[in-house]
Amino acid sequence: MLKYNTKSNRIFDTVVIMLLLFMGLLCLIPLMHVLALSFSDKNAVLAGKVGIFPVDFTLASYKYIMKEGRFFQAFGVSVKRVVLGVGINMAMTILMAYPLSLEKREFPSRDKYMWFVVAGMLLGGSIVPWYFVIKSTGLIDSIWALVIPGAVPVYNVILLMNFFRNEPKAVKEAALIDGVGQLQMMTRICIPLAKPAIATVALFSIVTHWNSFFDGMLLMNTPAKVPLQTYIQSLMINTADISKLTSDQLVLQMSQKTFNAGKIVISTVPILVIYPFMQKYFVTGITLGSVKE
């Protein structure tokens, strides 16, 4: 067995633990900093006194955010897009992945569809034609602009297809002998067996929808219809050119800093809520995508 109590081993372990702690802290500090800013008094922030713990603890920025309608309007748009977007993403992923997972003798056109899907993954328009196609389909400024163009997550389709393909053949054969029909095979056997993969894909889809800002910026013109990340991004643009501000404006900017920090913290909460579930599944998801029999 491995000898563990020698002195050199203990030193080695200590170095390893120190390095890991350092990396963990490095990941944590920026997040703690923004949390600290959001709970600190704006004068302390202005004086540059806030590190990773709040200074002169206050809930002022959260009270301010509660009164500000725009933030929660944007939050609502994001919730709506997640619900619609993930629902449609999942329906499309399952509906496409299952037929594609069939053998050629069960579904002769399978290979043709597969080529099409691969083309959909490799090809793609540059941003200008993409924008004008969406415009000409009348989606601009509608919530569907954030949902429909990305309704088919091709990579997830392939991931789930691979999962269906690796399901044990014996189970399917047994079901066939029991007289299960072709659609029941899908709904009763294959989909329930694929639950971990489906959960993985759904969680990825939630995060993608919650985090994307670009489509909101390009496709939404009315401020009230903009999703949360796009809204937060627009706050940042306003504060970008600090060198040109007068000192009064600078003070205003600095007090904005605590409000913005609060907004960031609130918009991260949903990710933190699903994070434990994610952690359970994303490891499977990654190994699914890369390791195959």
Cα 290 to Cα 115, 195, 207, distances in angstroms: 20, 19, 20
DSSP-derived 3-state class of residue 178:
coil
Span 42-71, contacts to other proteins by CB under 8 A: 48, 51
Interface pick for other proteins out of 57, 104, 125, 187 (rule CB under 8 A): 125
Residue 171 CA to residue 189 CA, distance in Å, equals 8
Residue 224 makes contact with other proteins by CB under 8 A: no
Q: To 10 degrees, the CA torsion angle through 272, 278, 283, 284?
A: 180
Residue choice 44, 74, 86, 150 for contact with other proteins (CB under 8 A): 150
Kindly give the residue spans of alpha helices, DSSP state H, lying in 48-178: 60-67, 69-101, 110-122, 127-136, 154-165, 169-177
Residue 130 lies near other proteins (rule: CB under 8 A): yes
Nearest approach, Cβ of residue 235 and other proteins (Å): 8
- Select the residue interacting with other proteins from 198, 212, 262, 281 (CB under 8 A): 212
178, 259 contact by CB (below 8 A) = no
Interacting stretch for other proteins, rule CB under 8 A, among 12-20, 55-63, 65-73, 168-176? Answer: 12-20
Length reported for the chain: 293
74-113 footprint of other proteins as x/- string (CB under 8 A): ------------------x--xx-xxx-x---xxxx---x
Contacting residue, 143, 151, 189, 251, with other proteins by CB under 8 A:
151
Q: Which of 43, 58, 162, 255 binds other proteins (CB under 8 A)?
A: 162
d(CA 213, CA 236) in angstroms, rounded, equals 13
CB of 177 to other proteins, least distance (A): 18
CB of 81 to other proteins, least distance (A): 14
